Amino acid sequence: MLRPRIVSVMFVSGSKGGVGKSTLVANLAMLFDVDVAVVDLGVDGNMSVSMLHGVSSDCPGFLDHVLLGIEARVERSKYAGNVYIVPPGRVRGFRASILSLANKDVIKSRIDRFISWLCDQGFQVALFDTPANAELLSLLYVSLLYTCDIINIVVEPSPLCLETVQAWWDSFSRTISRTSQIVNLIVNKYMKSMNGSLSYLCKYTINGTVHKIPFDSYTLVLSNRCELAVRYREAEKFNKALQSLYKALAHQISSYLGISRQSIRKGRR
């Protein structure tokens, strides 16, 4: 297998918003000891990654770049020296979906070029936070799924969410290469009372694993105040589980890069 020089990690949830993608991505980025680019594809639920990192989303961003060819801005997080945010940009909603269809021949190459550009900037890891209903971005969404090395499906453990993940799986699992990509499943806001084995969720993974992140009321309060939970000891339950998710992802990323986890060094910036 050809080794990439940068690993792209995507977080998706199908049509159900508010499952905690942005909260997970924003906090997870803080745990890396290398420079991480976090690409924010839009706002849903309560907050965006840009907001959680104190970065304005009112500037040219990823969607402007891919759909209109405008250069995206990369802003350093207010709270972590190693986290850089690419805001969504100004093209949103229906217009983004129309542009995605109109520019279908160039989108894939613009995504590839964007990721190579991040790599040239010294990033080894790019995290993509997608909004709920990202399917509306049609071809852009499919191209990202096709391009990203690791895809994390985030669900809440409710029956409705299982229907959502099944619908996502039916629509998109064929886009994913079983030989070169990884799909993990993350059950966020897990509660002990939900009991039972989650092993049946393995069927929604490809070369990957199932992770549980507990429901944590401190995380809920902190995120709603636009604070990053990893910065607060009170959110211990969430932070502990996030550490173990980080370890698993760091292991997958190092395997892609063909290096040991310890040798993911700070990028040259």
* Residue 45 touching Mg ion (CB under 5 A): yes
Residue 221 Cβ, how far from ligand ADP at the closest point, in Å? 8
* Residue 18 touching Mg ion (CB under 5 A): no
10 Å CB burial of residue 70 (0-12, 13-18, 19+) is: middle
Residue 68 CA to residue 210 CA, distance in Å, equals 37
Of Mg ion, ligand ADP, none, which one sits near residue 220, judging by CB under 5 to 8 A according to partner kind?
ligand ADP
Q: What SS3 class is residue 243? A: helix
Residue 57 Cβ, how far from ligand ADP at the closest point, in Å? 14
Residue 46 CA to residue 220 CA, distance in Å, equals 10
Of ligand ADP, Mg ion, none, which one sits near residue 213, judging by CB under 5 to 8 A according to partner kind?
ligand ADP
Residue 226 Cβ, how far from Mg ion at the closest point, in Å? 13
Nearer Cβ to ligand ADP (219/252): 219
Of Mg ion, ligand ADP, none, which one sits near residue 19, judging by CB under 5 to 8 A according to partner kind?
ligand ADP
Sequence-separated (6 or more) residues with CB below 8 Å from residue 13: 19, 21, 130, 132, 153, 154, 155, 164, 168
Q: What SS3 class is residue 154? A: strand
Nearer Cβ to ligand ADP (126/264): 126
* Residue 57 touching Mg ion (CB under 5 A): no
Question: DSSP label at 2?
Answer: P
**What residues make contact with ligand ADP under the rule CB under 6 A?**
13, 17-23, 44-47, 132, 188-189, 213, 215-216, 219-220, 223-224, 238
Question: DSSP label at 45?
Answer: S
Residue 46 Cβ, how far from ligand ADP at the closest point, in Å? 4
- Going from the C-alpha of 198 to that of each of 64, 102, 187, 195, 240, the distances in angstroms are 39, 41, 9, 9, 19
Residue 49 Cβ, how far from ligand ADP at the closest point, in Å? 8
Lay out the site mask for Mg ion across 97-136 (x = CB under 5 A, - = otherwise): ----------------------------------------
Amino acid in the structure at residue 262: Q
